[in-house]
């Protein structure tokens, strides 16, 4: 269903003033009819009084058609089950008093901006968030809102459980689709965020891993949840958008707000990262030490400081590597005798 804009004029203030004037006249008619009836018991006075009472008892129906709309708000109107149109422009409107505003997500409260909890009765929504069941109006917000969908435990492409949370910035672009195409567009968005997040996270490893294709081109790459956060967030946004087009929603942005290994493997993965860091540091130290030893031997040979045979060179290399690669400062032993 496509959205159609309500074309009625903003006659709310005029109808309100006319209604108030009409009620004043009705009250005066009742008073006059009562006075005249007490004096002459005339049929005309009785008819006037009864007529004014009937008008006063039914006149409030006229005020049901008064609608006030603020900026960035919309009102979806139906008349006896038929979609009439959507009011988008702010102002004071008068519509058919029998028109009904529809918003199936009016009482749904998510962990997002724009939703505040009241002191009334609460219920539990599909994602486990407490929601209010008090009537909070049927207006649909057209503002950009941020949905914090909470943390989820998902296995990455290597089977390691990770905890990840996202924040999604979204807004309603087609009110008719949001109201009539899905049962509850807020809950629908929340569930689609969960589904899209799982679909994308399962493609990536937490850290860079060998022989993993995250782009689908058949070649291994260095994509990871930790190192490619911007790319992962963009793919999550596109995945969510493809699922909520029929609900008239636009996903402006998606961001990863929390990322960590699940508690049951966090300590093991920390040890693994520490071991990897130690190995990388040792490799760098060894590479540097070998270069320094090679440089020392070349300079001793070029400047002819001392002549060393292969056995003495091996001993010198061993001693230098121990000094350069050791964790503690070397304790030299001074040889006061002959070298041989």
Domain ranges in the chain are: 12-70+84-96, 143-261, 270-325
How crowded is residue 49: how many other Cβ atoms within 10 Å of its Cβ? 19
Q: What is the rounded distance in angstroms from the CA atom of residue 175 to the CA atom of residue 202?
A: 33
Q: Does domain 143-261 have CATH number 3.30.479.30?
A: yes
Q: What is the rounded distance in angstroms from the CA atom of residue 68 to the CA atom of residue 74?
A: 10
Please give the model's pTM, rounded to 2 decimal places. 0.69
pLDDT by 10s per residue, the chain, length 340: 788 888 878 888 888 888 888 888 888 888 877 777 666 567 777 777 788 888 888 888 888 889 888 998 999 999 998 999 999 988 898 988 998 899 988 888 876 666 644 434 334 333 444 333 333 478 999 999 999 877 888 888 888 888 999 999 999 999 999 999 999 999 999 999 999 999 999 998 888 877 888 887 777 788 888 888 899 999 999 999 999 999 999 999 999 999 888 887 667 667 767 777 778 787 888 888 888 888 887 887 777 777 777 777 787 778 777 777 776 666 666 555 555 5
Q: What is the rounded distance in angstroms from the CA atom of residue 113 to the CA atom of residue 127?
A: 16
Q: What is the rounded distance in angstroms from the CA atom of residue 90 to the CA atom of residue 93?
A: 9
């Amino acid at each position: 269903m496509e959205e159609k804009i309500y074309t009625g004029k903003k006659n709310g203030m005029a109808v309100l003033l006319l209604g108030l004037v009409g009620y004043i006249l009705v009250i005066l008619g009742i008073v006059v009819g009562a006075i005249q009836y007490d004096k002459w018991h005339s049929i005309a006075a009785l008819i006037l009084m009864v007529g004014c009472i009937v008008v006063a008892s039914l006149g409030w129906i006229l005020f049901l058609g008064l609608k006030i709309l603020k900026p960035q708000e919309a009102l979806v109107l139906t008349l006896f089950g038929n979609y009439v149109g959507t009011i988008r422009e702010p102002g004071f409107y008068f519509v058919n008093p029998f028109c009904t505003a529809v918003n199936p997500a009016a009482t749904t409260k998510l962990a997002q901006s724009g939703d505040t909890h009241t002191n009334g009765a609460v219920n539990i929504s599909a994602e486990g968030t407490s929601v209010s069941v008090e009537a909070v109006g049927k207006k649909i917000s057209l503002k950009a809102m941020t949905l914090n969908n909470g943390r989820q435990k998902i296995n990455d492409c290597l089977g390691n459980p990770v905890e990840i949370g996202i924040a999604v910035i979204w807004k309603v672009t087609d009110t008719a689709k949001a109201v009539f195409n899905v049962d509850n567009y807020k809950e629908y968005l929340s569930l689609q965020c969960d589904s899209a997040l799982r679909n994308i996270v399962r493609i990536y490893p937490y850290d860079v891993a060998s022989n993993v294709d995250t782009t689908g081109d058949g070649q291994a790459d260095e994509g990871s949840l930790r190192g490619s956060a911007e790319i992962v967030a963009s793919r999550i946004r596109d995945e969510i958008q493809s699922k909520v087009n029929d609900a008239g929603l636009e996903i402006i942005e998606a961001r990863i707000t929390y990322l960590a290994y699940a508690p049951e493997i966090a300590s093991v993965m920390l040890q693994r990262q520490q071991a990897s860091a130690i190995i990388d540091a040792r490799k760098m130290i060894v590479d540097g030490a070998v270069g320094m030893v090679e440089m020392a031997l070349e300079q001793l040979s070029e400047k002819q400081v001392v002549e060393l045979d292969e056995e003495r060179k091996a001993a010198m290399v061993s001693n230098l590597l121990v000094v350069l690669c050791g964790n503690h400062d070397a304790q030299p032993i001074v040889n006061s005798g002959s070298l041989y």
